[in-house]
A and B are shown apart, each in its own frame.
Chain A
């Protein structure tokens, strides 16, 4: 399977609910980042978590990182219709600069 693999591939929730997306990766990393891509637009950086961090918050976003399981999760609380987008995790291998992206989770928030 691909490095930086997200699940679920698609998620549909009601406005106000929480959305959780997971990402798994294979190699050791320097950091892991989450990006959002709205339909027809570019990638927007959401949050970076370093390999020595376990949890990070930014507004309605909460990211966790478990390096022992090589996995990360992105939680969006109190979702809004504007959160509808594809979400990608990206990992940078230790000592390199290449981002490896997964196929993304398509989130749809219904108003």
Chain B
């Protein structure tokens, strides 16, 4: 069974540009989560999808971040325009049931110059 995959693995962009991160959850997992780790700090929750619906986006830092999960399969996280403080590692996770283990992808390392 394939795990959670994320694309790209690395992204280097300039301040003001747009970047779109993609996450493919484990097949059959309705729950999809985004987290990020900025500047070596703790990993923080961004948002949670159940199928295509946003259940909780309380962790989204501001309106420059837009997450979508059309069709309830893969999800994208767009940062527009990117700022220097957005640099970090963005993790995606999925779970079958929200009470169960969340399985994480390898992360996307974003560097905004």
- Chain A residues proximal to chain B, CB less than 8 Å: 2, 4, 30-31, 33, 35, 41-45, 48, 88, 90, 92, 97-104
Contact = CB atoms under 8 A, between A and B. Distances in A.
Interface residues of B, number: 25
A103 B104 contact: no
B45 A35 contact: no
Contacts of B74: none
Contacts, number: 56
B48 interface: yes
Interface string B29-43: 001010100000111
Interface of chain A, helix or strand or loop or mixed? strand
Contacts of B102: 33, 45, 99
A101 B89 CA distance: 14
Contact of A45 (B31, B44, B99, B104): B104
Nearest to B92: A42
A42 to B, nearest CB: 3
Contacts of B93: 43, 99
B43 A45 contact: no
Contacts of A2: 42
A45 B101 CA distance: 8
